[in-house]
Chain A
């Protein structure tokens, strides 16, 4: 049950999107986000949708997965939707009851905002679907490395992210084990008030923390034994190299961005 949790699901593959340089993919994601936020009209958003669909089709990730990524944020979409619906009072009044008024402007903003959030999530999840966490952290390290001049710990941050990713499954497994052990000794975690249930988590969290600290100490020792001494003078097994396809992708994304801005003006 608890083991099913995966953070940043990655689908291995050999598509064009998979093979793009991760740094470029991050850049493309940023361009895509700019696209969505500069779109003022539905026509502009449509260009964003087109860009997303082309990327999804090229990646070979089933469209089903795109819909699945929306599921967890559905409450947020509904919540913002309702807020927009009731608090925006431009356009004609469609419906009015006591202090509640719904206007055409409200409906439009609601649909527009909801589409924007959905597109945002779909696009960013495409990034994690097609990029393994380790290449992603690698890319982040490379992008941030110029900041080393101002003593920004780019390597350390990337290392921390890698270790965190590495230990998520281990700690989830451990939590599972501790929960079973406490249940076997009569711990009750499923009934009672919210406060009671929160309190029941203490006997799980304390052993988990103790074990996490012990793991950290052992890992540090093992890293020291393997000559770890920070980012200085470090080489990498996998070098990141940009290929022509990366530049083509950036040009295409910029073209879509131009289309969004253009459509903002022509259509309403």
Chain B
């Protein structure tokens, strides 16, 4: 038994056949990663760093050009296992409007189960459970287009969750949402992770990444950092060099450190920052 997801020295490029001669745009240049069951991994990187492309390799939407991706013992290039892989690794995208298929909430959540041929009675049960998990059970008979962005995204998550995947990959699920919607989704993600679902969260937001157990930073198709959020965000210079920010609290403490205050350089949560400042002020 190896790791749950193994990415072994993978490369990937998009080929544009319309150009003559066809041009090749390499977006992943040799990535090796291992993700174990139950982890909460955040993937950071600016636009074009290859993070979305990498995410789509985890459930065989993109197949590696060289190297291989193994999900729970199954090679993603093995076509016979394609649907087993997609059942194991679910995926949620950025725009909730573009991933909801049906005109009724519960019908949409049932979509994946109908596709994999689950008997109707079991579909009912799994749909209800998935909707309860994301807190949308009361809306099961509503029309999706009348719900808020955060609610729609939770429906999309429920639709994936109903498949009972072991891992959910989310590609910037909060990018199109307002702050309330973002909070809703982050709470849902943390709740799922606590229930044992492996989460791979691709995000732009540093404070979301700070809530993960592990942060991977990508730049130009390579992994340039892979550590706990504390350790990654303490390297503010490195992050800024690849066009990323650090969470606001981290930025604040780093500036205070530069001014000569005695603070640790790995503060990533507001509570922690408040506590440290309080101690510092008490000492006088």
Residues of chain A whose beta carbon lies under 8 Å from any beta carbon of chain B: 132-134, 162-163, 165-166, 169-170, 173, 214-215, 218-219, 221-229, 233-239
Contact = CB atoms under 8 A, between A and B. Distances in A.
Interface string B98-124: 111111101100111111111110011
B12 interface: no
Contacts of A132: 103-104
Interface string B148-160: 0000000010011
B219 to A, nearest CB: 25
A217 B239 CA distance: 33
A239 B120 contact: yes
A215 B86 contact: no
Given A218-B93, A235-B118, A226 B107 contact: no
A227 B163 contact: yes
B43 to A, nearest CB: 17
B209 interface: no
Contact of B120 (A166, A170, A226, A235): A235
Nearest to A162: B102
A95 B104 CA distance: 57
Given A166-B101, A169-B145, A237-B110, A222 B93 contact: yes
B61 A224 contact: yes
Nearest to B127: A237
A163 B107 CA distance: 12
Given A134-B104, A226-B112, A229-B115, A237 B120 contact: yes
B93 A234 contact: no
A124 B102 CA distance: 24
A116 B5 CA distance: 66
A62 to B, nearest CB: 22
A228 B160 CA distance: 12
A237 B115 contact: no
A248 to B, nearest CB: 26
Interface string B121-138: 001100100000000000
A227 B116 contact: yes
Contacts of B101: 162-163, 166, 219, 222-223
A178 to B, nearest CB: 15
B78 interface: no
B59 A170 contact: no
Contact of A226 (B103, B115, B127): B115
B114 A234 contact: yes
Nearest to A227: B115
B27 interface: no
Interface string B61-75: 100000000000000
Contacts of A166: 100-103, 144-145
Interface of B: 59, 61, 83, 86-87, 90-91, 93, 95, 97-104, 106-107, 110-120, 123-124, 127, 143-145, 156, 159-160, 163
A229 B111 contact: no
Contacts of B87: 227
A101 to B, nearest CB: 53
Nearest to A137: B103
Contacts of A238: 107, 120
Nearest to B109: A237
Given A170-B145, A226-B90, 13 more contacts: A162-B102, A166-B144, A170-B97, A218-B99, A219-B99, A222-B93, A225-B90, A225-B91, A225-B160, A226-B112, A237-B107, A237-B113, A238-B107
A218 B98 CA distance: 6
A215 B96 CA distance: 11
Contacts of B156: 222
A19 B106 CA distance: 19
Contacts of B127: 237
A218 B95 contact: yes
A225 B107 CA distance: 17
Contacts of A221: 61, 93
Contact of B163 (A224, A226, A237): A226
Closest 8 CB pairs of A and B: A222-B99, A226-B112, A237-B110, A218-B98, A169-B145, A225-B91, A227-B115, A233-B117
A3 to B, nearest CB: 10
Contact of B83 (A223, A229, A236): A229
A146 B248 CA distance: 62
